[in-house]
Each structure stands twice: as C-alpha cells, then as structure tokens.
Amino acid sequence: MNLVCILMKMMMLKLLLNITILIITIAAQPLPGCPDKCGKITVPYPFGLIKGCYLSKYYHVNCTKLQIYNTTFKLSSITLDGYMRGSLPMGHHCYGKLLNNRTRRSEPPIKLSRFPVSSKRNLLTTVGCDARADIKIIKGEDYITGCLSMSGCNMLSNGSCSGMGCSQVPVPYKVNTFRIHAQRNTNTSVGYWGFNNCTYGFLVEKDEYTFSTTDFDSMENRSFPVIFEWSVGNTSCEQVQKDGGNNYVCGKNSVCNDTTLTEFSQSYPMGYRCVCAPGYQGNPYLPNGCQDIDECKEKNDCIHVHGCSNTNGGYSCSCLWGQKGDGRKHGEGCVYSGGSLFAGVSMGTAACVVLTLILYGVLKQRQITKNREKLFKKNGGLILQKLLLFESKQSSQMAAKIYAAGALEKATNNFHKKNVIGQGGYGTVYKGTLPDKTTVAIKKSKSIDENQIEQFINEVIILSEISHPNIVKLLGCCLETQTPLLVYEFINNKTLYQHLHEQLDFISSLTFEKRLHIATQTAEALAYMHSTTQIIHRDIKTSNILLTDDYTAKVSDFGISRFIPVDQTHLQTLVHGTLGYIDPEYFRSGILTEKSDVYSFGMVLVELLTGRKVFSYDGTESDMGLATYFVTSLEMGCLITILDDKLKKDAGGDLDEQQHIMKIAMLAKDCVELAGKNRPNMKQVTHELQELTHSYLKASIIFKKDNYFDPDHLSLFD
C-alpha cells in the first residue's frame, strides 16, 4: 500500500508540473490557388491580394502600398481572431520662434473603411507642453475625444506619460473617418519653448510608446503600431442566417460570434466573426478550413496514454484490460472489475489521490491567505484598523467597515463583467450583493501609488465620517487586493448625465423644478464638504451626480478628491479632472482651491440649462468650448437660443419660471468666471439656490391657487 501511495504521489507531482495552457495556432489559409504572402505579411481569407481571392472589395490588400481597399493605415499583420496591426500618420503643429514666423502643421485625413481602431487596445497620445490633441470627425469636424498635457515641463522624466509633457487617454469605439488635431493651449506663438517647438498627437497600441524628453522636436517622421478590429457582414449571426444564408461565410465545423458595439448599456450588432468549433483548427472562413485536431497527439483527459482514440471534433478514452469506466481523469475514471487485490489497490490509489488533492488544496488556500495578509499590511490595513477603532470609541456614528476580499468577490460573482455599472479613467464600479442582501457599489481603482497609502487611509476615515443626505455614503473598504476596493451605498436611478443626454423613455421627467432641486442639493453637498470636512472634490460633473428614485441628488466618486488642512487655502497638485469641467485657472497653475469645484459646478448648471454636453461640439459653439459660448449668448441676450428644448417648452408661457431660469443662468455665469477670486464660494451659491427654490415653490403654489397669468407681462421668450 505504501508503495502504491508513493507511486501515486510521484504521478500527481508530474501531473501538476505538466499542467500548462495549450495555445493552438490558427492556420492562416487563403482560398485554394490564391497567393497568401505580401512580403512578410500572411494574408488569410476573407482578405486577398488579387481579384477572386477576397470576399469583397473591402478586403482587398494592395501589396504594393500595404493598404486594404481605401484605408489610410499601413498594414503590418492580420490575424483570424478579428484583429490587425498597422500604423497611422500623426497630427502635429510646429511653431516658429517669432510671431510672424510661419508654422508647420499636419492633420492628414484618416479613413479606416469597416476596420475601426480598437478602443480597448489603443491610446490617444499627446506630446508637448501645455498642449492638446483631439480626434475630430471629418464630417462636421466634431470633436469626439481629447487628450491634454500640462504646462510646467520643468519636471519631465523619461518613461513618464502621466500628464506632464505627455498624456494618454482611451479612444472611442467605431471611429472610421477622422483626423487628429494637435495644438498648444496657449494662444500665442511668440517666445518659443526652446526644447518644445512642436505639439504631436497620435494613436498607438498600449505599452508600445515610451516617452523621452528628446521627443519634442523629432517625431514628425515616426510611426507607431495601432490595433484595428475586423469582422464580416453588417448584421448579427441570427439575422444573416435567417436571410437565407447567401451572405453567411462561416465554413464547415465553425461557429458564428456576433461583433457588437456596447454604448450606454445597449448592444448593437456590427457584423460577425467565425471561429473553428471546439476540436477543430484552421481558417473558419473557408468552406472546409476547420480541420479536426488529433487530441491524442495533444493534451487530453485520458488516464492511459495508449487508451486515447481520436474522433471528428473530439476523442474517446478507454481503460486497461480488467478495468471498467470511461477512462477519463475528470470522469468516471478506471476501476478494476473484480478481485480483492485489485479492489484493495484501487481503494488505496483513490485514497492517495484524495489525500494529495486535499493537501494541494490546503497549501493553495494557505498561499492565498498569506498573499492577502501581505497586501493588507502593504495597503495600510493595520494602521486603518487602529484608526477606525479609535474613531468608533470617540463617536457614536458607525465607522467604516473593513471587508474581506472573498466576501466582495462573492458579492460580485468574482467581479464578473455583467456586474459592471460604471467605468472611467480612474477605475471600474461593480454592483454587488452582500450576504445580508444589501446592494452596494464596489469601486475597483486602476492603481494607487504606495507613497499615497497614508493619504488614502486618511481619506477613508474622513469620507466614512461624512453624513450628508446628498453625498453617497462610503460603507467601507477592502485592503486585501492589489489595489484597495471602496464600498459605497448603491444608487439605482442612473446619473444626471444619462437623464440629460441619453435618449431614454424617462428623459421627459426632468422638469425645471427637478433640475432646480438637483442643482440645490448638489450645491449643499459641496458647501458641506468645503466648510465641514475641508475636502475638494476635484471632479464634479453630471456623470458623478447620481439620482435616487425620487430624484434626490447624490454626489459620488471621490477617487481624486483632496483634503486641505485647516491652516491652508490651497494645494499644489498635478492637474486631474475631466475635460470641459476643469477650472482653467487650476489647469494653468496646478493650484487647487475650493473655487475649482465652483467652476465645475457652474458647468453643471450650464449643462442643466442647455442640455448640451460640456465637451461635444455640434458646429455652434466656438473653439473655446461651451462655457464661453454660454456666457457670450447670455451677454448678447440670446439665452433662449441655447436653452434645452424641454425648458423652452415648459417655460414658454410661465413668466415666473422664465425669471428663475434667467437668475440661474446669471449664477452659472458667475461660477465660470476665469479668475477664481471673482467666483462666489459654494456657501454663497447654495444660499442663492435655496432662495430661488423657495421663491419658485411659493410662486407655483400661488399660481395653482389663483390659476392666473397676466398676458400683458413681457415674456423673455417672445
């Protein structure tokens, strides 16, 4: 029996050492009789080099130019998993030394046909000081995304692309005709920068560009790899098969997978891709491109090496003579059919296997526990425990809870993508259900600097003590993961951004009265933060204002918030925030004050009044953005032309509502003053909004009671 156990242990150790992931290389095959090489590039069907060798003109590869159909990018590889690699021209703007010197600029049009840039695998990159690069749709020249780099290039470092001289942001999905616009943020070209005469904007595959301080004036002729996506058809698998299958190109022994665009939680079919069915390999777009894999020559589940028999799309296993079962390691296995000796050996073998697996499981769990304890200490867990214990003794209010990683993994189904309810530049938010049936929102940050652990702990303590009806409550955190997790109360009626800009059924419910209440409640939350907790939010925007079922506003996402000590009025920080909402004064100087939140809140008021996105150009706003366009329209007496259609309709015959809209517009104008000293503070803003709310409700009650409106009053909307 001991000998059997020893042999079984040796077999198990060998098995564990040989467990690897098998990667099957899909053969890139052309149509029979067609060439498949363009230099070093392998061209698989549905792509082709000559007429009759490609699916349609959109998949024709020009081997001389290394271009597909009428696309702009230069091709370097195609793979059958739906991706291809190539390079794109960059946009640049180079300035002369003096004002009358000519400048050089390039914004070549980029056409991608039906092969969009992969939004998950590429980044829009800006290189330059106090500069920006934007992706602009050629038709209408709309800006669809932008990337800013800051001034103050005296602290540059090689390899760092985090905003100082170099910045990167994700790119949108399904962009196929655009140009990259690069420029400085400053309005003058007098007094060149010496080492920074040019600004560059380009797309690049993630992790394929490393910033160097020597790049500023030497990049015009460089190119970088970009990942593009490809598929076939324009409809879903179900639809193309329902249409009779004439346009269906997936071959025998293959499976069809939809290619979808997910936008605002809605999925839209964008074509489909073919993959070989399990047990087959090859080119799934060819009629007989998927060929059977001989699993007996590869990794398989058979207990005995010589007990494997290959079949089409699979294999079967058999046991040795005198044994019965299915012959599979993870199935019935093999057992001897008779005899006490065989039965004893079989039982001993089984016992050794079970003991080995139990030992392996215990060791694995111990390693997981050890790693979590290590991360807990690294993320400041011991310090946080002591501080929370002290706080709980000093206050009757319930302190933040420290959650175990396992509990949050279970609550989110191991952070499954179906549980994602929000995603941004600083992390991902998941919906989770705790064992007590409490629904929570769990924020998983992308990264945290080890030098900021103490600051992170202080913020957890401060935020857990915030008790305000218009601020999302922080319930606790988890420090047993690579980056700390934050657990918040769950708010279920989407964001203010979605109510304003997404064409959903409930958009008509956002009346002026609701907008006034939302603005007032948000202002009250910010005034409380500034005066009571000395916290500056730094990222106030409509997508960070959550709404409950009764449209109560809840300020959320404190991922980049900063605490200002009582004896200070400002902080010098790297600029963080969202394009369009960032205080211009803070953007230029890096000095953060409470007036920075006031500017962002002013843009929220503008958004509430106009229904326009803060950074989305529709051909009417000036190049300076929505803030300048709003203020200019207000000063010219043209407020009506930019008001949200819902407000125009509701206030058309209501003079009182028109007057309140005008007062809020004037307040918004004060909040977005370029100089922070000219802006009111949030306490003053709150007081004025509360007064407006009170007078509006009072007027509404009187109007309903008397049912009276004087038509002789001059309307602002006439």
* CB 5, CB 348: distance < 8 Å: yes
Rounded to whole angstroms, how far apart are CA atoms 455 and 129? 29
CATH code: domain of residue 596: 1.10.510.10
Contacts 24+ apart (CB under 8 A), 626-634: 626/580, 627/580, 627/602, 627/603, 627/672, 630/606, 630/665, 630/668, 630/669, 630/672, 631/669, 631/672, 634/665, 634/666, 634/669
Tokens 């790899």 belong to residue: 225
Rounded to whole angstroms, how far apart are CA atoms 466 and 478? 19
Rounded to whole angstroms, how far apart are CA atoms 484 and 427? 11
Residue 558's pLDDT is what?
A: 78
- The CA-based dihedral angle spanning residues 183, 184, 188, 192, taken in that order and rounded to the nearest 10 degrees: -110
Tally the C-alpha atoms within 13 A of residue 517's C-alpha that lie toward its C-beta. Answer: 13
Per-residue 3-state assignment (H helix, E strand, C coil) for 643-685: CCHHHHHHHCCCHHHHHHHHHHHHHHHHHCCCCHHHCCCHHHH
Rounded to whole angstroms, how far apart are CA atoms 464 and 5? 55
Rounded to whole angstroms, how far apart are CA atoms 671 and 664? 10
CATH code: domain of residue 449: 3.30.200.20
Angle 59-65-69 from CA coordinates, rounded to 5°: 25
Catalytically annotated residues: 539
In a domain, 295, yes or no: no
In a domain, 480, yes or no: yes
Domain enclosing residue 42, as ranges = 26-69
Domain count, the chain: 4
Name the maximum alpha-carbon separation found in the chain: 109
Pair (429, 574) in one structural domain: no
Helix, strand, or coil (residue 547): strand
Rounded to whole angstroms, how far apart are CA atoms 394 and 396? 7
In a domain, 309, yes or no: no
Cis before residue 46, ω within 30 degrees of 0?
Answer: yes
* CB 283, CB 27: distance < 8 Å: yes
Pair (675, 536) in one structural domain: yes
Pair (146, 42) in one structural domain: no
Residue 159 token pair: 């390899």
Residue 448 token pair: 């945290």
Rounded to whole angstroms, how far apart are CA atoms 357 and 378? 31
Residue type, 489: E
Rounded to whole angstroms, how far apart are CA atoms 505 and 483? 38
* CB 538, CB 597: distance < 8 Å: yes
Last residue of a domain, one of 205, 229, 253: 229
In a domain, 12, yes or no: no
Residue 453's pLDDT is what?
A: 65
Helix, strand, or coil (residue 394): helix
Residue 191's pLDDT is what?
A: 40
Q: How far apart are the first and last CA of the chain?
A: 99
Rounded to whole angstroms, how far apart are CA atoms 203 and 88? 7
Rounded to whole angstroms, how far apart are CA atoms 656 and 670? 22
Closest CA to 122 of 84, 159, 156, 158: 84
In a domain, 42, yes or no: yes
Per-residue 3-state assignment (H helix, E strand, C coil) for 601-625: HHHHHHHHHHCCCCCCCCCCCCCCC
Closest CA to 668 of 522, 536, 537: 522
Pair (209, 105) in one structural domain: yes
**H or E stretch at 631:** helix 626-635
In a domain, 44, yes or no: yes
Angle 471-475-479 from CA coordinates, rounded to 5°: 125
Pairing of strands 142-149, 110-111: unpaired
Pair (559, 517) in one structural domain: yes
Last residue of a domain, one of 11, 34, 69: 69
Residue 43's pLDDT is what?
A: 94
DSSP 403: P
Rounded to whole angstroms, how far apart are CA atoms 627 and 612? 11
Residue type, 221: N
Rounded to whole angstroms, how far apart are CA atoms 396 and 181? 56
Pair (512, 483) in one structural domain: no
132 phi, psi to nearest 5 deg: -150, 155
Pair (534, 633) in one structural domain: yes
Chain Cα centroid distance, residue 684 = 35
Pair (675, 529) in one structural domain: yes
Residue 680's pLDDT is what?
A: 96
- The CA-based dihedral angle spanning residues 581, 582, 585, 591, taken in that order and rounded to the nearest 10 degrees: 140
- Distance of CA 488 to CAs 11, 447, 557, Å? 49, 19, 9
Pair (509, 476) in one structural domain: no
Tokens 């990222």 belong to residue: 539
Last residue of a domain, one of 201, 229, 257: 229
Tokens 């990259």 belong to residue: 180
Residue 192 token pair: 């060149």
pTM of the model: 0.49
Question: Running along the chain, 718 residues long, what does each successive block of 10 average in pLDDT?
Answer: 43 39 42 87 94 92 92 93 93 74 82 89 89 79 66 74 84 80 68 67 92 81 91 88 80 89 57 92 91 89 88 89 86 74 62 80 72 65 58 55 86 90 76 91 74 63 79 85 84 89 62 93 94 87 92 86 74 79 87 93 95 66 70 88 84 76 94 93 96 86 49 41
* CB 446, CB 423: distance < 8 Å: no
Closest CA to 464 of 533, 523, 547, 407: 533
Tokens 């900063």 belong to residue: 562
In a domain, 138, yes or no: yes
In a domain, 308, yes or no: no
Residue type, 183: Q
Residue type, 2: N
Contacts 24+ apart (CB under 8 A), 676-681: 676/583, 676/585, 676/586, 676/593, 676/595, 676/596, 676/598, 676/599, 677/595, 679/595, 679/598, 679/599, 679/602, 680/598, 681/527, 681/530, 681/594, 681/595, 681/598
* CB 603, CB 665: distance < 8 Å: no
Pair (461, 576) in one structural domain: no
Residue 373's pLDDT is what?
A: 67
Pair (59, 156) in one structural domain: no
Per-residue 3-state assignment (H helix, E strand, C coil) for 450-497: HHHHHHHHHHHHHHHHCCCCCECCEEEEECCCCCCEEEEECCCCCEHH
Residue 458's pLDDT is what?
A: 62
Pair (91, 172) in one structural domain: yes
Residue 557's pLDDT is what?
A: 81
